[in-house]
Amino acid sequence: MPAATATLPDRKPVARQPKEQRVAAILAAARDEFELQGFEKAKVAEIAARVGVVEGTIFHYFRNKRELMVRVMEDFYKDITADQQNGIKGVKGTRNRLRYVIWHHLRVISDNASLCGVILRESRGLGSELTADVQRFNRKYTNCLNTVISGGIEAGEIRLSTSVSLVRNTVYGSIEHALWSLLSGEHEIDVDAYADELLQLVFQGISADESALEKNEVASLIRKLGRLV
Amino acid sequence: MPAATATLPDRKPVARQPKEQRVAAILAAARDEFELQGFEKAKVAEIAARVGVVEGTIFHYFRNKRELMVRVMEDFYKDITADQQNGIKGVKGTRNRLRYVIWHHLRVISDNASLCGVILRESRGLGSELTADVQRFNRKYTNCLNTVISGGIEAGEIRLSTSVSLVRNTVYGSIEHALWSLLSGEHEIDVDAYADELLQLVFQGISADESALEKNEVASLIRKLGRLV
Amino acid sequence: MPAATATLPDRKPVARQPKEQRVAAILAAARDEFELQGFEKAKVAEIAARVGVVEGTIFHYFRNKRELMVRVMEDFYKDITADQQNGIKGVKGTRNRLRYVIWHHLRVISDNASLCGVILRESRGLGSELTADVQRFNRKYTNCLNTVISGGIEAGEIRLSTSVSLVRNTVYGSIEHALWSLLSGEHEIDVDAYADELLQLVFQGISADESALEKNEVASLIRKLGRLV
Amino acid sequence: MPAATATLPDRKPVARQPKEQRVAAILAAARDEFELQGFEKAKVAEIAARVGVVEGTIFHYFRNKRELMVRVMEDFYKDITADQQNGIKGVKGTRNRLRYVIWHHLRVISDNASLCGVILRESRGLGSELTADVQRFNRKYTNCLNTVISGGIEAGEIRLSTSVSLVRNTVYGSIEHALWSLLSGEHEIDVDAYADELLQLVFQGISADESALEKNEVASLIRKLGRLV
DNA sequence: AATGAATGAGGTTTCATTCAT
DNA sequence: GATGAATGAAACCTCATTCAT
């Protein structure tokens, strides 16, 4: 009796999904929206629309928009941090390990340019509500580089005088700048090439190679005296 | 639509200033406000209050808030670009010139941390209306480093294979990261020390002849010491 | 940007109404306000106050003020167009049909003088954002007259040389002028009298056969009188 | 000594024009701006810029923007009223005189479409500040038609029962509608053709031609009786 | 006569968040 | 669990008009 079926009232298929799936769907939609619009301009209504629910539903699962963003970032950081720690296990030698960290970060940045752009932008706000959270995640993620450099110093491959924070600033700062170029449409990033070049620059720059070391110390002394006279 | 024909408000006697002074005062106030709040959160009403005029007066001189921000940035970039170009004139030798560029930028960043923070933040916006303007100013400013590196390559002091954009990313990225540390209250920047360390890392990292490095420095120092005694 | 995360205002218990009722109430209030103030001077705040909600609620249902105005006009045009098409069905004979169109339009204008004034005023704007919408609605509404005139020409009752657009301009222009007189307080409109006079002028003015004019009318009247006695 | 001339301070040629010329120049500029923007959107600053003076100067010669508009309209109405009165002198016969009035108005509308559009639009405002003034000018201008019709009635060429205001509404309303078509870019106005057609319609419509008269009266009576039964 | 700096009220629109249903 | 109606603060920008110089 097809006619009978036709007269049944329309009943929306209220896809009542298990909590986990709903949360995952919202997070995915949120990530898309944040990537497209940035945090401030992203609209909860739009995220809800992407999932196919109404605004109110979002607030069943997340206290507020900020928490949504934090969760998106947290998930992302967890992923890449685990991936990094996993990948570096098998890599031996300071130079190789440094290359791995650089290469891995470039890979991440290159594959998630939009999201990385959002995260970095939001983490620089003066009073941004997100600063603290991002920095916490980031500290853990970048800790790997610290370990590599410290290890290199202990192993005598890297100059004793090397400032770990300088290296961290330099490596991540360099790659971050490459990201801005990418996002502004200037050019793509050739991950392997950039990794090699940056590694070359940085590793040669901090290498403890005997002859270099000597020269460096002399150079440093010269500068100090120069400023004195 | 302003009240047509009807209102005859009592006019307060206002301190009338020549255009130039007002513009300067507004720009100064705007800079303060932008530094404090960032572009989006900055309120024109607050800027006006700082100057001691009403909002309308601001728009007598600047078409809109964006133009105000652009002018603040433009003035700033003009200053530091001129200063940089002026200062580098007397500096000879690739190493010294590179150090100057690094040192000068650190000086600028250190002395104008708040403003630099705002500018950098606003220049990374996806569809931010300010992106284009900042990038135009910035290209001119950072061109100096390009010249130094290119010169160094031609002079044979820097490896032929060196990518200028890599060096630019690395130098400015490193310093930018130091700025974020500064702004997040982690620690101050010791301009001279950071300049030395970054120079050391970068120059050694891109140096062509590792042993020729310090010869000139030594000779130069000897002359200076000779004059001293 | 609404106060983020910070404000937890006390929420007044609001009478919650189904969408349809609210929309209707808003449209009614909007019409009142537009009639009173015209489009530009009408304030959304005032419309909201008339409904008894806050401004934001209005924008929950209508994208912007313009859409509100368009909807008011659309509803009005739908009403009168349907009414006109309905009423003309039973009217036979070119002269009678023309009289009906004139009379109906006068009735509409007379009963909705304020709204018609607003609509006509807004539809004449050079770059007015409403021009296009009104003209679309209006074309459909005035099409009825086109049909009548064309029919009359085909039936040989109206001179072949008659320009339909001239007749349309003349009929609607004449009535529109009567509206302006009404709105400027000069005098009322006697719908039936004006309809007769205008019909007389126009139909005699475009009539093909000047003597055939009243024959049908006489016959018809005789029949009616016959029935009466 | 050309050098001497060169070192003289720049002296702006403050073209201090006689009052009459200034006023004329301002009125011309105002008319241009009003035509382009309409009254509300027209900016005094723009009018001043067109003349090459600053805003303040405008207010030396005109109390306010409204007065400026009134003067533009007044000048225009004076021109066309004089022209009309002048032209109609030599025209004899009701039909010819009516054609002249129609043709002249079409000529005016066609040659000054933009300004006429503004004037008509502004004169329809509910509480428009300009309504009263325009109506005063307009009454004088349209009086000519009144005279023609009244004359025609007295001369027995036009039906006694003819309502002068109906004819006025119809003639001016028809032409006004043609103007809106013109301004909305639909089509040009062929002044002579439109004049002929409108004259034909109106004059035949109000003609006292014996046979027509009789028929009209009968028809009118029929309608009244029809409504009665 | 001409300038042009200063006024200042005013209204549309956005959107995260709540909570009654 | 899901809905979606309601909130309400907040801020940019316009521009006719004045009046000290």
**Which nucleotide in the DNA or RNA is closest to residue C21, CA to C1'?**
F5
Chain F: nucleotides under 7 Å from a protein CB? 1-21
Last residue of a domain, one of C6, C33, C62: C62
Q: Closest Cα of chain A to B36: distance in Å?
A: 8
Tell me which chain D residue has its CA closest to the CA of residue C198: D166
For residue A97, tell me if it sits in a domain: yes
Same domain, C38 and C129: no
Same domain, B117 and B180: yes
pLDDT, residue A125, reads 72
Note whether A64 contacts C1, CB cutoff 8 Å. Answer: no
Instruction: List the structure tokens of C7.
Output: 């404000």
CATH of the domain at C138: 1.10.357.10
For residue C80, tell me if it sits in a domain: yes
pLDDT, residue C217, reads 53
Return all residues near D101 (Cβ < 8 A) that are at least 6 apart: D84, D88, D144, D145, D148, D171
Nearest to B149 by CA among B141, B140, B136, B158: B158
Same domain, B94 and B38: no
Per-residue pLDDT band at C134 (split at 50, 70, 90): confident
pLDDT, residue A229, reads 63
pLDDT, residue C135, reads 87
Last residue of a domain, one of B46, B62, B78: B62
Q: Is the CB of B63 under 7 A from strand F?
A: yes
Residues 70-109 on chain C lying near strand F, CB distance under 7 A: none
- F10 C1' – B143 CA distance, angstroms? 42
Q: State chain A's mean pLDDT as an integer.
A: 86
Mean pLDDT, to the nearest integer, of A214-225? 61
Q: How many CB atoms lie within 10 A of CB A41?
A: 14
C1 contact B CB<8A: yes
Chain E: nucleotides under 7 Å from a protein CB? 1-21
Same domain, C148 and C203: yes
pLDDT, residue D85, reads 96
Same domain, D56 and D76: no
pLDDT, residue D15, reads 54
Q: Closest Cα of chain A to C25: distance in Å?
A: 24
Same domain, C50 and C130: no
At C57-105, the pLDDT tens digits run 999 999 999 999 999 999 999 999 999 999 999 999 999 999 999 999 9
Q: Closest Cα of chain C to D169: distance in Å?
A: 5
pLDDT, residue D135, reads 84
Note whether A129 contacts C1, CB cutoff 8 Å. Answer: no
For residue C121, tell me if it sits in a domain: yes
Prediction pTM value: 0.83
For residue B3, pLDDT beyond 50? no
pLDDT, residue A194, reads 96
CA pair distance A33, A60, nearest whole angstrom: 19
Same domain, B92 and B30: no
CATH of the domain at C58: 1.10.10.60
pLDDT, residue B187, reads 85
Give chain D's residues under pLDDT 50. Answer: 1-14, 210, 213
For residue B113, pLDDT beyond 80? yes
For residue B5, tell me if it sits in a domain: no
Instruction: List, in sequence order, the alpha helices (H) in A10-130.
Output: 19-41, 44-51, 55-61, 65-88, 94-111, 113-122
Nearest to A138 by CA among A168, A159, A161, A183: A168
Residues 16-75 of B with CB under 8 A from C: 40
For residue B131, pLDDT beyond 60? yes
Same domain, B37 and B99: no
pLDDT, residue C210, reads 53
- b/e burial code for range A105-143 (CB count within 10 A of at least 16 → b): bbbbbbebbbbbbbbbbbbbbbebbbbebbeebbeebbe
Instruction: List the structure tokens of C29.
Output: 């209030």
pLDDT, residue D124, reads 85
B7 contact D CB<8A: no
CA pair distance C90, C112, nearest whole angstrom: 24
CA-angle at D99, arms to D96 and D101, nearest 5°: 115
Q: Among the ranges A169-178, C62-71, C184-193, C196-205, which has the highest mean pLDDT value?
A: A169-178
Instruction: List the structure tokens of A214.
Output: 């000597």
Name all chains with 3 or more CB-CB pairs below 8 Å to chain A.
B, C
CA-angle at B44, arms to B38 and B45, nearest 5°: 125
Phi, psi (deg, nearest 5) at residue C43: -110, 130
Same domain, C29 and C81: no
Note whether A125 contacts B38, CB cutoff 8 Å. Answer: yes
Same domain, D113 and D222: yes
SS3 of D8, please?
coil
pLDDT, residue C10, reads 45
For residue B52, pLDDT beyond 70? yes
Greater model confidence, C157 or D130: C157
Last residue of a domain, one of D36, D62, D88: D62
pLDDT, residue D180, reads 94
Chain C contact set for A66 (CB, 8 A) = 4-5
- E15 C1' – D160 CA distance, angstroms? 68
Chain B contact set for C6 (CB, 8 A) = none
Mutate to test the interface with D, among C95, C197, C221, C224 (most CBs of D within 10 A): C197
Mean pLDDT, to the nearest integer, of A28-37? 95
C178 contact D CB<8A: yes
Residue B43 domain boundaries = 17-62
Name all chains with 3 or more CB-CB pairs below 8 Å to chain D.
B, C
Mean pLDDT, to the nearest integer, of C172-197? 93
pLDDT, residue C207, reads 82
pLDDT, residue B7, reads 38
Name all chains with 3 or more CB-CB pairs below 8 Å to chain B.
A, C, D
From residue A23, alpha-carbon distances to A42, A62, B187, D92, D203 in Å are: 18, 9, 39, 89, 79
pLDDT, residue D128, reads 62
For residue C76, tell me if it sits in a domain: yes
For residue D98, tell me if it sits in a domain: yes
At B155-197, the pLDDT tens digits run 989 988 899 999 999 999 999 999 999 998 878 999 999 999 9
For residue A10, tell me if it sits in a domain: no
For residue A101, tell me if it sits in a domain: yes
Based on the structure, what is the number of domains in chain B?
Answer: 2
Same domain, B127 and B202: yes
Note whether D218 contacts C214, CB cutoff 8 Å. Answer: yes
Per-residue pLDDT band at A192 (split at 50, 70, 90): very high
Q: Is the CB of C4 under 7 A from strand F?
A: no
pLDDT, residue B135, reads 87
Residue that has been written with the tokens 């620089």 in this structure: A124
Greater model confidence, C8 or A98: A98
Tell me which chain D residue has its CA closest to the CA of residue C228: D229
Same domain, A33 and A82: no
Question: Do A and C make contact, counting contact as 3+ CB pairs within 8 angstroms?
Answer: yes
